[in-house]
Structure 1
Amino acid sequence: MNERRVPERHRASKRRRGGEVELSNILEKVVDQLRRNTAISYLFLKPVLKKDAPDYFNIVKRPMDLGTIRDKVRKMEYKNRKAFRHDVAQIAVNAHAYNDNRHRGIPPLADELLKMCDQLLEEHAGLLDDAEGAMEY
């Protein structure tokens, strides 16, 4: 009886791992498309540096950028699209928190970035459903 259980667990583990890999592949395509649209994304490609905005970290408590998101995708830290979207939304939250009263042109770019993210996630919804489904226990 034990002999049968080990392969079943192994198969389930392999299926979950395959789902994680597939999810990461899809999310990497999405983040790459966001990064390539530099008219919208150019300000959000890398972390904000203290030398560029000395008071940024007094206002923004959870910094986020597309480079960090890409790194998290590659490390397979996202277990679903909701967590990925949350980080993209954090870029918009931060842009509003820091720039609403300073640089009024920046928050709308972050809003466009989030809108584009939502569109891309919707375009890949079927594949994302499959990948996330393969990860269920």
Structure 2
Amino acid sequence: MQDRGKHNGGYGPALSAWSAEALAAESERQGCAPLDLKWSYADSPFCCYGEAHLEPVRPLFEARGDLFDLPDDAADAEFELRPRAMETAVARLDAEGVFGTGADRHRRRPAPAPTGTASSPPSRCRPRTATTSGPCG
């Protein structure tokens, strides 16, 4: 889960994840090792997956203000609070079984359609661009 920073005037979370299969395919496509992409949320086909479900949360983050406008101590505390709030929310959903339980939790589900296709709206996440150290660097 990412706090994407400034987005439409405020802060708010966005989901992103990798499956082993998607990570292998994307690293092959980009010509790099899977570990070079593992933490790149924007390269994942799951970036911003289901973001409409998080839309009601965004005003709560916006109301807390811009981290860069806060005094250092307040910004540090807020920087710790936001990811902890997101982790707590996901843990609660997990405890409710939203992500499945038992064998159903590990059942393979189809990957989402690539962003921007007719079956899914374009994602607001942008793929990472190549750097001087290589396509995944």
TM over 0.5: no
The normalised TM-score by structure 2 is 0.30
Q: Which has the higher contact order (CA 8 A, sep 6+)?
A: 1
**Bigger-Rg structure (1/2):** 1
Greater share of residues in helix: 1
